[in-house]
Amino acid sequence: MAFPKSVSICDVGTRDGFQAEHDFVPTAAKIEVIDALVAAGLRKLEVTSFVSPRAVPQMADATEVLAGIDKTRGAEFVCLVPNLRGAENAIRAGARAILLFVSASETHNGTNVNRPIAASLDGFRAIMDLALRHGITVHGSISTAFGCPFEGDVPPAQVASVARAMHAMGIGHIALGDTTGMGTPPLVRAAVEAVRDTCPELRLALHFHNTRGLGLVNIVAGLELGITDYEGSVGGLGGCPFAPGATGNVCTEDMVNLMHELGIETGIDLDALCGVARRVETLVGRSLPGQVMRAGPRGRLSPLDCAVRAIG
């Protein structure tokens, strides 16, 4: 199987990951993690969201986080915005890239943002106009692209329809999100092929959760399709707060390890990234599901004096 020679990986931990944490993560700690991820080689990060602090208290410090991070290393810092007011606040705070999101499932979109899909898409038009006036990059994300916890399977044609509407507005880069980990390789292939048939020039990214242990398997399916953009969360942080049973995102460091083992370049220092994941564990005060940060890369050897020896 011919895989891409290189991929681009976006870490969403300080937004998608931290927003699911019950205890507030201090602003300085968020900035520390973002700067450390950039130092490890990440060149695209979803850093925060300009949402109502009543809805997502964890993101109440979005302006301070955006102001405090080191912007001198050439990374793209993306801020999620739910509506025009959020976009205005993000731009006022200095954001240069924003993310618009909508679900492929009507029911999930209703629980997530309290409006139908058509209303969400209509609301994007004013945001696109605002972004164009200010020279802001706009990315898109389609949640529940591989299944909805309320409706079940989401027809690939529905995913493609939403992608076509967003692309028609001028959004050229869209992530297909597996919001509650319902994706499987056949579903990934069906959704990607449907979107490509509709918008062949659209740049696609894939965003998986590991709810049922298929996150990395789905990434391999994406690689087989030639997808070169992926999203992960440091340590496996995350889980949609608006969908029951949603667990963490695919771990960024586990994904990087997979890419490196397949001979795919990422530009990321895996050892440094694992160090960031371990630091995040201390910040949230609990064990995270990342595996490579605990075991280390496959080639790391253990000293013989650490071996458990049989007795008798």
Whole-number percent of the chain with pLDDT over 70:
94
95: left (phi over 0), alpha (psi -120 to 50) or beta: beta
* Catalytic pick among 240, 251, 274, 306: 240
Task: Judge contact between 260 and 245, C-beta under 8 A.
Answer: no
* pTM, two decimal places: 0.94
Q: What does the pLDDT read at residue 48?
A: 98
- The sign of the torsion formed by the CA atoms of 29, 113, 229, 176 equals positive
Q: What does the pLDDT read at residue 307?
A: 67
Considering the four listed CATH numbers 3.30.565.10, 3.30.470.20, 3.20.20.70, 3.40.50.300, the one that applies to the domain covering 8-306 is 3.20.20.70
Cα separation, 147 vs 216, in Å, equals 17
Beta-carbon neighbour count of residue 117 at 10 Å?
21
Cα separation, 19 vs 239, in Å, equals 9
Q: What does the pLDDT read at residue 302?
A: 63
Q: What does the pLDDT read at residue 246?
A: 60
Regions of the chain where pLDDT drops below 70: 1, 239-247, 301-302, 306-312
Residue 306 a catalytic site member: no
- Give the H/E segment covering residue 49: strand 44-49
Q: What does the pLDDT read at residue 305?
A: 73
Beta-carbon neighbour count of residue 301 at 10 Å?
6
Tell me the two tokens of residue 269: 């220092």
Q: What does the pLDDT read at residue 214?
A: 95
Q: What does the pLDDT read at residue 13?
A: 97
Roughly what angle, to the nearest 10 degrees, separates helices 117-134 and 106-113?
60
